[in-house]
Amino acid sequence: MSFSRLLRFFSDHLSITSPNSSAPEKEESSSNSSAPKKEESSSNSSAPKIMASTSTSSIAVLGVMLMASSTFIYYFYSKASSSNSSEPKKEESSSNSSEQESSSNSAEPEKEESSSNSSEPEKEESSHNSSEPEKEESSHNSSAPKKEESSNSAEPKKEESSSNSSEPEKEESSHNSSEPEKEESSHNSSAPKKEESSNSAEPKKEESSHNSSEPEKEESSSNSSEPKVMVSTPTSCIQTSFKYDVFLSFRGADIRTNFLGHLYEALKKKGIATFKDDVGICKGNTIFDELIKAIEDSRFYIIVFSKNYASSSWCLDELVKIMKCRKMTGHTAYPVFYDVEPTQVRKQSGAVENAFSENKEKDASGKWEGALKEAAGLSGWVLKDGDQSELIKKIVGFISLMLRSISFGPDKMLVGMETRVTDVVESLEMGIDDVRMIGIKSMGGAGKTTTARAVFDRLSADFEAKTFVANVREVSKPSMSGLKKLQEKVLSKLLDEDVTLDSVTDGKKMMQERMRSIKVLLVLDDVNHSNQLEALAGVSNWFKPGSRIIVTTRNEQVLVAHRVKWIPDYDLLSREQVLEAHRVNVIRDISLLSDEEAIFLLSRHAFGSAIPPEEFKELSGKVAHYAAGLPLALEVLGSSLCGKNKHEWEDFMKRLAKFTLPEEIQKKLELSYESLEKDYKEMFLDIACILKGLRREDVIRILECRGFNPGIGLRVLEQRCLITFSSKYEYLGMHDHIEEMGKNIVRRDHPDSRLWIKEKIEDILVDDEGTEATICLELRKTNTNAGIIMKGLGKMNKLRYLKVYFPYQDYYERDAEDLDNTAQYFSKYLEYLNCTNYPFLYLPKTFQVNNLVGLEIKRCRRMERLWEEGVKKVLENLKFLSLSESALTTFDFSMTPSLERLSLEDSPNLVELFMPVSCQKLNYLHISKSKLRTFDLGLTPNLEKLSLNDCADFEELHMSSACPNLKFLELRKSRLSRLNLELFPNLERLGLEGCDKLVEINAPVGCLRKLVYLNLTSCLRFSYFVVPVGELEPKDSRSSASLRLVGEILDSCPLHPNSNLPKLRFRCYYDEDLPSSVGNIEKLISFGLCACTDFKKFSDMICSLRCLRKLELECDIPDFPKDLGQLECLEELCLSSTKIKHLPNSIRKLKCLKSLEVDNGDLLEKLPKGLGQLECLERLHVRSKKIKHLPKSICMLKRLKSLDVRDCSCLGKLPKDIGQLESLESLDLSATKIKHLPDSICMLKCLKSLEVDNGDLLEKLPGGLGQLECLERLHVKSKKIKHLPKSICMLKRLKSLDVRECSCLENLPKDIGQLESLVTLDLSATKIKHLPDSICTLKHLTYLNLDECALLENLPEDLGRLECFKDLYIAASPKLLLRLYSSEMQNTTCHRRGTSSDEGLKAAEYFLKLIDMGVMENKSGNWPDLKCCEIRNGLEGEWETLTSSSLS
């Protein structure tokens, strides 16, 4: 056979590239075309392509949409583009044509594909009298649906409209539109034409332009196909909320009961508020008035044009109103052409003409015709003899997407944000593949952080890693340690791993090394020093191209200085290059709000509406003027005035008028402070000076100690926008300007009342200048010794709040006697005392504690008791007591009768607690690392949390009465042996991990009904047992639970060394989806917690579990539970044990069982005979080396889909009636002893996968194998099979044929080419000499393996016609390779060093080179996607013995 064609392919048309070579080039064809075109094809896609062309002065319109949270209108435009082409396809179009129709006789043919069932809309935009050109602005994050280009797209091809096309058309008329339009005009220009494909369900677009004479300005990016955005000026009449999401317009007689009804229900099911006239109209109201009101109050309109739609004047009037409303911002209409063509509606022809004839002579016919024509040109969907359900799915999906894009837009309370975000996004130029840094600067409160967060939320999905680093300035305050923590945070987030650094320098090095391979979005918020940028975003080459860094700051100089460092070789650049570099890394200034936006924002907070009431408009204007455009000021003022009447507004304005507006904005905020009640003012000042940054619960506790009502007070301050709480960890926050405003008030009106500046406090203490004016003092990390501090506090005798960090050296280094002789003084008015590194043995004996409510002392290792020996003071009002790292040996609750919270953390000397008969107020008790052995709870009815963790000697918890409010119980790593949970009926969390002495838990069924977390890990019974209960929503209405027990055999039980019972320890995985507990957890933990296992009790416990749907037992036990049939809800059962010989017969009672897996059963000899009674069984997987046959009853399993008996090495045959498994889809017989497959196997009409790997035993396949009409995968491995049955050529759906290592297989059926769906073919290690020529007709074949086919002599001449070929593996048959290079390689210049240059060596040299390079790139047009061709064998030795004579 001649191989010249294939030889030329190898020698002339394949070029060797590196393994990372780019994909093959696309084929460019210009035949039969008057203009060059560029096409894309995908070998793996059967979906039609989408082609969109632009006519002379038209541009495709993606959609018009209102962002509800903004005061701006957006137009989204997108040019159709080719997904992989950089060259546009050109097409000449006439500007005088209103419609372009494609036909087979066109002088400029296009590839088009029309489908009568298509649900993809087609858009046509017509602009007749447009006079104003507009600018397009590209936005990659438009809220309009995105068009994604994909070679595997399933979206229909976009094309110019055709009268025979079933695709909808879009024509957007601007006859009466007040909105400016985009157009592209050129009477004789050749508009670029591009092909693209998309997975979007977005409507198809078609544009035409007739008489436009105005030029256009267009901005586009060669690298972007994103929708373009145009922003108009603000408007005050914007509808931001709608009663209905969708209004349905339809002719009821045509479609009400079928298509329309299904569409309405589908929309409702998705939670889309939909108006349908027979549902939404209230009784007693005028129908048409209700319809008009509903149209005005709907966001989207779906107009279903049916054949008789135009016969109804009612429908036509409705349509006119819809067309009028759609021109208003926020309203969009989409037509559905139900069994009619768009052109019929637009021109009132065909069936539509007949229907409209009834109304043609009426007075309103003119406006009806206009409305029909306008609506028919909109983006929509066409359904003609197609699948209604599929179209409904697309419509509902599209509407959901549009609503989602609106919902995910900026917060409705944020005004003017969208234009700021758009400006920043445009500056980032997302389509350009370089590293960009954008700085956002402004004064505090102008919205830098909010803007950066909105940009981050919009763009984050486009990056491989992203992180928003908030409060850089504040976090980095502790200099280098703060920067290191920031670096660790950034690296951990971006790399998705825990990162710990030794220094900032190490952090810089790691960022430089690791960030280069990751496209990141990094936001650094509130940067105030250049060292922060140097540590977190040093230079641009730290990051992978495409990365974006956004920095917000109040100090522009930080950005200016750092920007120079981001420009490489700055000194070597020309002026133009420097300007360009500065343009790339720009600084955006956040402007303040305009007057209109300010009133909008103020009204939102004061009245909850976009526009203030008429009587408040003038006052609102004045308030907005005073705010001077600062968003924070507007929010605070608006919240302060919320609910006030006009008289109160006027009084407020009079107070405003008394003050001259200061230059610094924060002073205006004092007005909000002035409106607070006295207690709330004091709370605010405490927060501004002392409490900012603490957790909510700590703030509440401290304010309660101060005598305030924090529950109401914090809510008031939060409503006035004076404080915030982070959503995740509930830390109290406050804007910097508001914080400074509060401190200024203290300095001005209450000097020295609150002291928080370390240096000032130290000076006062050292100079002993304290005064009675001081009520709050916080001294952080001072070096002033304890004696000076205590002496200096002596004059502050009105002090109510004291927080002091004593010097470290006093705590660890000072002489004990010296400390004990130090005079101590604390004010008798103290309400809250917090000390760290407390160096004294006890509290001062002069300390009068009648007012003390909160006492927290951290690291008090010298404190052995609260009071000096002989002194006994009762802390009558003390509610909160926390002592950590103390030397206390005992604690007497009678000394604190009002105590609510007690924490004695890390108390290694504590041996005893004295609990009175009753502690009615105690609700929190935490003790850790103590020497407590027992504890009697006494009467503690309000106790909610009890934690005795790491108390290694703790043995017994006494309870004389129930604790009805106890929710959290933690007894980790104790010596507890027994625990009674019956007295804790409302327990939610139980932590008992590490309690290795725990033997028994008394938990009656129902006592843990509120449990949400249980941890028994490292108990004797369980090496792991963590149960997060009720975290997931139930997947359906049924209650369900799953249990997995993985057991291990222990040699002995430490608690019962002489017991004869088997010793088992389990890893337990239990999940529950139950509305309330059914007692399963109680049964699991009440079974016993030592290793001794009574299998009878174990079996009874397992079989008593309720609502169990999945059970996995993996342990070497002699018998599985015999009463498994009691688990009536069980659907999945997995049993694994090497000691099991028989399965329990009760298994046949599991009527709901869908999956049965028996694994590692080396001793299992047979399956139960009654297995066929499992009528719901769908999956049966068995592994056992002793099973010789399957029970005949399995042929009764009518629902069985998967049968897997691989590794059943003694299984010699299948039941004869295996063909009765009518639902079987997968059959795996690998590693069995089956010699013959029963003929009935050919009756398995649903079989998709058949795998037989039987080594030396299987001699042939059934002749009727071709009857398996659904078979997609056939894998056969046997050394005795010599040929395949001819009938396999009938397997039209077969995708994979694998006969590797069928070492006796000599040929393939001649008609193998009839396998029209075949994708992969593996013939490796066979005796095949020739491939049938029909193999060249396998048009979907992508993979062919001929490895180790030593006898292969030639390849079919037309093998190069396989268009989808990607991977070709050729065996190293010397004869084959030399034949391929017999004549064409005569003139090769390839030589191997140190050998002769005969023909064999030339060929060897060439193929070795192929092996070294690994990849070939095609340049010929054949095999366009070939990526890999491997020639493998021991070439080094074999080629030496060959000569040119071998070529024969």
Tokens 């449990």 — which residue? 1011
Answer whether 499's CB lies under 8 Å from 510's CB.
yes
Q: 270: closest CA among 381, 409, 400, 388? A: 400
Answer whether 225's CB lies under 8 Å from 81's CB.
yes
Within 13 A of 340's CA, how many CA atoms are on the CB side?
30
User: Angle 496-499-504 (CA atoms, 0-180°, nearest 5)?
Assistant: 130
Can you read off the two tokens belonging to residue 3?
A: 């191989």
Count each helix (H run) and each strand (E run) in the chain, helices first.
36, 57
Q: 29: closest CA among 81, 104, 85? A: 85
Strand 1320-1322 to 1296-1298 pairing: parallel
Q: 310: closest CA among 261, 373, 266? A: 373
Written as one letter, the residue type at 1350 is A
Q: What's the start-to-end Cα distance of the chain, in Å?
A: 12
Report helix angle 710-719 to 678-686, nearest 10. Answer: 80
Instruction: Write down the catalytic residue from 134, 318, 778, 1131.
Output: 318
Active site residue 318: yes
Name 53's bridge partners.
193
Sequence-distant (≥ 6) Cβ neighbours of residue 921 within 8 angstroms: 879, 898, 899, 900, 942
Answer whether 931's CB lies under 8 Å from 953's CB.
yes
Answer whether 249's CB lies under 8 Å from 336's CB.
no
Answer whether 633's CB lies under 8 Å from 593's CB.
no
Sign of CA dihedral 1288, 1291, 1292, 1298: negative
Q: 904 phi and psi, to 5 degrees?
A: -120, 70
Given strand 228-231, what is the order of strands in its sheet?
61-66, 73-77, 228-231, 137-138
Q: How far apart are CA 620 and CA 614, in angstroms?
A: 10
Measured in whole angstroms, the distance separating CA 1268 from the mean position of its chain's CA atoms is: 42
Can you read off the two tokens belonging to residue 975?
A: 């010596």
Answer whether 1197's CB lies under 8 Å from 1176's CB.
no
Sign of CA dihedral 465, 470, 473, 476: negative
Can you read off the two tokens belonging to residue 102?
A: 């494609």
Q: Per DSSP, which regions of 499-657 are E strands? A: 520-527, 548-553, 587-589
User: Angle 1415-1416-1420 (CA atoms, 0-180°, nearest 5)?
Assistant: 165
Strand 137-138 to 228-231 pairing: antiparallel
CB neighbourhood size of 314 (10 A): 14
Q: How far apart are CA 926 and CA 902, in angstroms?
A: 6
Written as one letter, the residue type at 98 is S
CB neighbourhood size of 815 (10 A): 8
Stated as kind and residue range, the H or E segment containing 75 is: strand 73-77
Q: How far apart are CA 216 and CA 185, in angstroms?
A: 6
Stated as kind and residue range, the H or E segment containing 258 is: none
Written as one letter, the residue type at 1177 is L
Q: Per DSSP, which regions of 1094-1199 are E strands? A: 1108-1114, 1132-1136, 1155-1159, 1179-1182
Answer whether 37's CB lies under 8 Å from 29's CB.
yes
By annotation, the residues acting in catalysis are 318
